[in-house]
Copies of this chain bind each other. A is one copy, B any other.
Amino acid sequence: MDRLRLRLELEDLFAAYAACLDDGELERWPEFFTDDCRYEIIPRENFERRLPLAVLRCESKGMLIDRVAALRRSSVYAPRALRHLVSGVRIVGIEGGVVCAHANYAVLQTLSDEHTTIFNAGRYLDRVVRSDGVLKLAERLCVYDSVLVPGSLVYPI
């Protein structure tokens, strides 16, 4: 049961993470991570060829906070709604207090006066730790299926 319960807790974490981004509450987003976290958005092809070319790479919570500040300053985005769908959360390993988990995601996008389309889809490859009783992301790699790099992909996924 412990493993099933842990999966339920991961799903709670991922649901809160998705709601944070969908609600546009970017300032709360770094709080889902540990201080020394790693966060990357990587096209699938680069990931599979082990090319170190990420579209976005942050190597600490401080860098996540900087990223949010930069996004708030630039604000070049057309008004749009994002909507995360997360499916197939799986624990693939537990070692020394670190939970390795995978999940599929799709982010839908709705621009003003347009129909809803798929903005980005791929896999989350995560390392999760418990800190003061709360699950935090020590690492989240967003490996997305497209090789197209939408200009706006620097927004967190």
Contacts and interface: CB of A to CB of B under 8 A. Distances in A.
A34 interface: no
A12 B102 CA distance: 12
Copies of this protein, total: 3
Given A113-B148, A145-B116, A19 B87 contact: no
Interface residues of A, number: 43
Contacts of A7: 8, 12
A138 interface: no
Given A18-B104, A84-B104, A114-B146, 11 more contacts: A4-B8, A7-B12, A19-B90, A83-B122, A108-B118, A110-B121, A110-B146, A112-B147, A113-B147, A116-B145, A117-B118
Interface of A: 1, 4-5, 7-9, 12, 14-16, 18-19, 22, 44, 81, 83-90, 102, 104, 106, 108, 110, 112-118, 120-123, 145-148
